[in-house]
């Protein structure tokens, strides 16, 4: 089956490039797409160089990496749970990361410690949700979703508590982090590197994932070592989520919307879907972030608001259709 | 082609005593049927033989090696399993479904080749679902899905077929054609081991039978020795009338 895997990926790659050029060019001072490319190739005025390379490009790349990581994490969790509703945000992982980050902010710590604390929170939340939902049996979809929703509600309460007792001058930063915002992201390169690495890693695993999507027994009967594979996906998905949340706060629904849309168009071959998720998720978040910057310019909306506006209807539609 | 052997095997059914351990060998060319009432442990036995469940005691050997010593991939090159229940969490087409049967034979970096696709298409044709290749599996009828599942294992091309109620959902004609296909497989030197609800299908097509009683008692042997009306009546707790048709015994339940 020499299915043309490359064509859809090429189209998506071009779309992401176009979205990035648009994003970098849009803002208080707009830069024409041709000029953006020229600057990237080392030409253009000093002002343009600073504007594009130092101010806008890192943010755009951060948005891309965050979106890609979340979409791939969502797609992996959906295969693991054989449920198209699984998503890091819905399962309460983002909530755990938020609590971790806010704790660090509340303690007056900044920078790397906030990131590290968010990372620990995300991993803790993953362990909790998957551990509780697993129990003695297997991961049944309804039990996992319910566990995730309940645990997320618990995180929500903790977050409210922390906001209530925190000093006023810390509140804006905390709120922005909660709503999901890429403007504070530091260097996008580690996240982009991770995204690329995971896409390479899942290529040889892709066919096994396709088989796993048909249930653990069927997969075992076809020669998949189910337990090790499930743990690999689980750890990868948690790592991706934690990295994304650490970078940009809790941005919801990218992991839900992007894989779903892509499956409708491209089918469910993970060898295609996972890299496509990386590209399309990145593109979506770059566009959402651009929109967030211009809708009420010069003010900025947190990008999480835009993705939630897209994601909630999609989620409800999926739930409605699956009954 | 290797035989599949149960050695002092006791399957693990919670809340039930050990019963009698199983010691049998499914040899190439043989066609085995497992009979027993609901809940007797037929599916558990099948899954244990496939290495998907851990037995309470004893072992399952493929040729000379215990299944626990073999990698899953290696086992799946010899053993094919048709499940009674299937999950389809995500939509997939009939052809894609049959193609996953090639999984045990492809290395991680390999894509399915034209040859693989040809095998899958042939298998679908043989089960009379070739015209449905591009349909989504979840839009098919129960009988069509059952035939796609059998075609998937045919694509896998194992030496040993394990089937859980292969005649489920099938109309009379397709029941016969599936059993004929399995007979062909056995004639070609492969072996078949299947759970069956239908006593008469088993009596007609199987050369060996294993009777599984709900209390853990078992007996097995060549079909003609196992088809004793009193034993079958005890097995199902149902009075039977035996008649002969076309050279095979036919068992008809007595109306109460």
Q: Which residue has the higher pLDDT, A149 or A68?
A: A68
Angle between helices A226-248 and A57-81 (to 10 degrees): 150
Residue of chain A whose alpha carbon sits nearest to that of B153: A222
Residue A214 has its nearest CB partner, among B87, B114, B117, at B87
Which CATH number is correct for A6-322, 1.10.3470.10, 3.30.9.40, 3.30.540.10, 3.40.50.1360? 1.10.3470.10
SS3 of A225, please?
coil
Contact A208 B77 (CB under 8 A): no
Angle formed at CA A316 by CA A121 and CA A318, multiple of 5 degrees: 95
Per-residue pLDDT of chain B (256 residues; tens, 9 = 90+): 789 999 999 999 988 888 899 999 999 999 999 999 999 999 999 999 999 999 999 999 999 999 999 999 999 999 999 999 877 678 889 999 999 999 999 998 888 899 999 999 999 999 999 999 999 998 999 999 999 999 999 999 999 999 999 999 999 999 999 999 999 999 999 999 999 999 999 999 999 999 999 888 999 999 999 999 999 999 999 999 999 988 889 999 998 7
| pLDDT reported for residue A44 | 77
Given a cut of 60, whether residue A298 has pLDDT beyond it is yes
Given a cut of 50, whether residue A1 has pLDDT beyond it is no
Distance from CA of A46 to the nearest CA of B (A): 47
* Alpha-helix residue ranges (DSSP H) falling in B188-228: 199-205, 223-226
Cβ–Cβ < 8 Å for A290, A26? yes
* Alpha-helix residue ranges (DSSP H) falling in B50-140: 72-76, 94-99, 114-126
* Alpha-helix residue ranges (DSSP H) falling in chain A: 6-25, 33-40, 46-49, 57-81, 93-106, 112-134, 141-165, 171-179, 189-212, 216-221, 226-248, 254-266, 270-294, 303-322
| pLDDT reported for residue A2 | 40
pLDDT digits (tens, 9 = 90+) for A103-158: 888 887 777 788 788 888 888 888 888 788 776 666 666 777 788 888 888 999 99
**CATH T-level fold of B4-227:** Rossmann fold (3.40.50)
Cβ–Cβ < 8 Å for A310, A258? no
Distance from CA of B225 to the nearest CA of A (A): 32
Cβ–Cβ < 8 Å for A271, A206? yes
Q: Which residue has the higher pLDDT, A177 or B110?
A: B110
Cβ–Cβ < 8 Å for A26, A293? yes
Residue A82 has its nearest CB partner, among B89, B99, B112, at B89
Given a cut of 80, whether residue A257 has pLDDT beyond it is yes
Cβ–Cβ < 8 Å for A111, A52? no
pLDDT digits (tens, 9 = 90+) for A183-203: 766 688 989 999 999 999 888
Given a cut of 80, whether residue A309 has pLDDT beyond it is yes
Domain regions of chain A by residue span: 6-322
Contact B117 A1 (CB under 8 A): yes
The verdict on B96 touching A (C-beta cutoff 8 Å) is yes
| pLDDT reported for residue B237 | 93
Please tell me the distance from the alpha carbon of residue A122 to that of residue A94, in angstroms, as a whole number. Answer: 6
Pick from A72-76, A214-218, B84-88, B111-115: least confident: B84-88
| pLDDT reported for residue B167 | 94
The verdict on B177 touching A (C-beta cutoff 8 Å) is no
Contact B106 A207 (CB under 8 A): yes
Contact A2 B111 (CB under 8 A): yes
What are the chain B neighbours of A263 within 8 Å (beta carbons)?
90-91
Q: What is the ipTM of this complex?
A: 0.92
Distance from CA of B87 to the nearest CA of A (A): 6
Question: Prior bond to A298 cis, omega within 30?
Answer: yes
The verdict on B91 touching A (C-beta cutoff 8 Å) is yes
Nearest CA among A247, A248, A280, A238 for reference residue A261: A280
Contact B111 A220 (CB under 8 A): no
Contact A223 B106 (CB under 8 A): no
């Amino acid at each position: 089956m020499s299915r043309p895997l490359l064509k859809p990926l090429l189209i998506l790659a071009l779309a992401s490039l176009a979205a990035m050029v648009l994003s970098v060019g849009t803002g208080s001072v707009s830069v024409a797409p041709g000029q953006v490319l020229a600057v990237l190739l080392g030409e253009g005025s000093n002002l343009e160089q600073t504007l594009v390379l130092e101010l806008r490009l890192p943010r755009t790349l951060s948005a891309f990496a965050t979106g890609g990581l979340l979409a791939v994490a969502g797609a992996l969790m959906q295969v693991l749970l054989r449920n198209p509703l699984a998503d890091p945000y819905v399962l309460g992982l983002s909530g755990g990361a938020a609590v971790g980050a806010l704790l660090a902010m509340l303690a007056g710590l900044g920078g790397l410690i906030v990131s590290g604390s968010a990372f620990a929170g995300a991993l803790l939340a993953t362990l909790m949700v998957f551990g509780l939902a697993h129990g003695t049996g297997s991961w049944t979809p309804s039990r996992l979703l319910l566990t995730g929703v309940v645990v997320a509600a618990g995180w929500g309460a903790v977050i409210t508590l922390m906001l209530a007792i925190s000093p006023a001058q810390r509140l804006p930063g905390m709120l922005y982090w909660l709503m999901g915002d890429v403007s504070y992201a530091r260097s996008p390169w580690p996240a982009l590197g991770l995204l690329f690495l995971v896409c390479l890693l899942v290529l040889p695993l892709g066919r096994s994932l396709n088989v796993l999507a048909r249930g653990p027994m069927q997969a075992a009967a076809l020669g998949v070592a189910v337990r090790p594979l499930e743990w690999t996906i689980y750890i990868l998905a948690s790592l991706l989520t934690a990295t994304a949340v650490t970078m940009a706060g809790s941005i919801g629904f990218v992991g839900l919307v992007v894989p779903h849309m892509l499956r409708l168009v491209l089918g469910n071959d993970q060898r295609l879907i996972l890299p496509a998720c990386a590209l399309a998720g990145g593109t979506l978040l770059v566009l959402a972030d651009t929109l967030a910057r211009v809708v009420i310019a010069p003010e900025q909306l947190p990008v999480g608001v835009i993705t939630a506006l897209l994601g909630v209807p999609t989620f409800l539609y999926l739930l409605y259709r699956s009954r | 082609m290797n035989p599949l052997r149960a050695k002092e095997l006791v399957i693990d059914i919670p809340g039930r005593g050990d019963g009698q351990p199983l010691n049998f060998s499914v040899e190439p060319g043989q066609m085995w049927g497992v009979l027993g009432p609901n809940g007797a442990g037929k599916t558990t036995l099948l899954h244990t033989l496939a290495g998907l469940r851990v037995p309470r005691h004893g072992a399952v050997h493929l040729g000379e090696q215990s299944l626990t010593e073999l990698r899953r991939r290696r086992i799946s090159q010899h053993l094919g399993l048709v499940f009674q229940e299937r999950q389809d969490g995500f939509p997939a087409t009939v052809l894609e479904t049959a193609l996953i049967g090639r999984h045990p034979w492809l290395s991680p970096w390999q894509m399915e080749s034209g040859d693989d696709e040809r095998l899958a298409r042939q298998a679908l044709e043989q089960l009379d679902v070739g015209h449905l290749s591009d349909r989504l599996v979840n839009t098919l009828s129960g009988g069509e899905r059952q035939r796609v599942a059998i075609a998937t294992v045919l694509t896998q091309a194992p030496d040993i077929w394990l089937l859980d109620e292969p005649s489920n959902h099938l109309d009379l004609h397709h029941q016969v054609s599936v059993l004929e296909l399995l007979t062909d497989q056995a004639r070609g030197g492969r072996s078949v081991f299947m759970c069956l609800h239908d006593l008469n299908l088993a009596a007609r097509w199987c050369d060996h039978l294993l009777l599984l009683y709900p209390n853990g008692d078992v007996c097995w042997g060549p079909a003609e020795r196992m088809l004793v009306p009193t034993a079958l009546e005890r097995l199902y707790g149902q009075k039977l009338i035996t008649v002969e048709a076309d050279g095979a015994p036919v068992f008809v339940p007595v109306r109460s």
